[in-house]
């Protein structure tokens, strides 16, 4: 059954209601709830750890292109990919004539401090992520010497929610977590911190752990020599 944002917020208020859980939304309850809910969704998608659902997008990389922008259509209508800000890239690869060319996701710091031939075109070997407030820029290096089909599997920041939007894009286990997270923040704004009991806090921690357990984000730090911007990769890239 589809649940609207308005209904979702009212249920969160019910957890901290001072009298009865059936009291309707009053005053700025709805607008305050929407504002805090959007802040939570944006905050939890900042790294992708608490955004459990990843998706694959396809983009046609043109000749000479070396940068792709990711943003919501409402923020940047001219963005190359309008799925929202790319908060976490798990896998990036190119496809040409049925052949897959995986790209190494390299940190921006390593890329910017490396000695590189720029401008340069060939078979792209690296994908470098530059995160900004509402937009993500992906640099492929070297630039594309021909047209490729770029595939990105990752997590994207959700666009802002309004009162009549539905929550169907969120899985049930994330809705459970967001209900508790929203109620906890609302309790502080509404002077109802006493209603946030240890019982609710334990439920919140359990729900958060469930979200993290299904996350595809790998927090392991590995040093891979093959990802250095020098050596044999230039031969394979044709540069």
Taking only the tens place, the pLDDT of each residue in 88-120 is 899 999 999 999 999 999 988 888 888 777 778
Provide Rg for the chain, Cα atoms. Answer: 22
Residue 6, Cβ density class (10 Å: 0-12 exposed, 13-18 middle, ≥19 buried): middle
Q: Verify that 69 and 117 share a domain, yes or no.
A: yes
Within a domain: 91: yes
Q: Verify that 152 and 118 share a domain, yes or no.
A: yes
Closest CA to 10 of 29, 27, 28: 29
Q: Verify that 20 and 138 share a domain, yes or no.
A: no
Residue spans of beta strands (DSSP E) within the chain: 55-61, 67-70, 86-96, 99-102, 104-106, 121-122, 126-131, 136-141, 143-144, 148-156
Within a domain: 239: no
Distances (CA, A) of 62 to 94, 143, 190, 237: 12, 9, 52, 17
Q: Which pLDDT score, from 0 to 100, does residue 212 have?
A: 83
Within a domain: 81: yes
Q: Verify that 148 and 106 share a domain, yes or no.
A: yes
**What's the domain range around 144?**
55-156
The residues, ordered by sequence, that sit 6+ positions from 125 with a Cβ below 8 Å of its Cβ are 103, 104, 141, 142, 233, 236, 237
The DSSP letter of residue 21 is T
Q: Verify that 69 and 140 share a domain, yes or no.
A: yes
Given 127, 156, 185, which residue is the final one in a domain?
156
Within a domain: 80: yes
Q: Which pLDDT score, from 0 to 100, does residue 126 have?
A: 94
Give 68 or 159, the one with higher predicted confidence. 68
Model confidence at 215, pLDDT cuts 50, 70, 90, reads confident
Given 102, 131, 156, which residue is the final one in a domain?
156
Rounded to 5°, angle at Cα 137 from 132 and 141: 140
Domain total in the chain: 2
Q: Verify that 93 and 130 share a domain, yes or no.
A: yes
Given 137, 156, 175, which residue is the final one in a domain?
156
pTM: 0.77
CA distance 193 to 35: 19
Cis peptide before 119 (omega within 30 of 0): yes
Q: Verify that 165 and 83 share a domain, yes or no.
A: no
Within a domain: 168: yes
Greatest Cα pair distance in the chain? 71
Model confidence at 158, pLDDT cuts 50, 70, 90, reads confident
Q: Verify that 45 and 163 share a domain, yes or no.
A: yes
Q: Which residue, chain included where needed, has tokens 């209900």?
A: 179
Within a domain: 205: no
Distances (CA, A) of 85 to 9, 11, 53, 55, 76: 25, 29, 14, 13, 10
Within a domain: 203: no
Q: Verify that 149 and 182 share a domain, yes or no.
A: no
pLDDT at residue 19 greater than cutoff 80: no
Within a domain: 237: no
Q: Verify that 164 and 152 share a domain, yes or no.
A: no
Q: Verify that 177 and 138 share a domain, yes or no.
A: no
Q: Verify that 65 and 16 share a domain, yes or no.
A: no
Give 148 or 169, the one with higher predicted confidence. 148
């Amino acid at each position: 059954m589809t649940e609207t944002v308005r209904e979702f917020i009212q249920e969160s208020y019910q957890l901290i209601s001072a009298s009865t859980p059936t009291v309707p939304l009053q005053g700025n309850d709805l607008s305050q709830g929407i504002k805090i809910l959007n802040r939570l969704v944006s905050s939890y998608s900042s790294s992708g750890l608490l955004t459990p659902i990843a998706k694959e997008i396809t983009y046609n990389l043109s000749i000479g292109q070396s940068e792709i922008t990711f943003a919501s259509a409402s923020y940047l209508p001219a963005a190359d990919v309008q799925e929202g800000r790319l908060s976490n890239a798990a896998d990036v690869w190119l496809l040409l004539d049925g052949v897959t060319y995986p790209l190494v996701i390299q940190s921006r710091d390593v890329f910017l401090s490396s000695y590189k031939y720029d401008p340069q075109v060939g078979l792209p070997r690296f994908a470098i992520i530059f995160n900004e407030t509402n937009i993500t820029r992906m640099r492929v290096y070297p630039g594309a010497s021909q047209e490729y089909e770029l595939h990105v599997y990752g997590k994207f920041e959700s666009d802002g929610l309004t009162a009549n939007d539905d929550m169907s894009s969120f899985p049930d286990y994330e809705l459970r977590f967001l209900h508790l997270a929203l109620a906890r923040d609302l309790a502080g704004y509404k002077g109802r911190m006493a209603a946030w009991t240890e019982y609710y806090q334990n439920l919140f921690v359990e729900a958060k752990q469930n979200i993290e357990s299904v996350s595809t984000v790998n927090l392991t730090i590995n040093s891979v020599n093959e990802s250095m911007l020098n050596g044999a990769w230039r031969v394979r890239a044709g540069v």
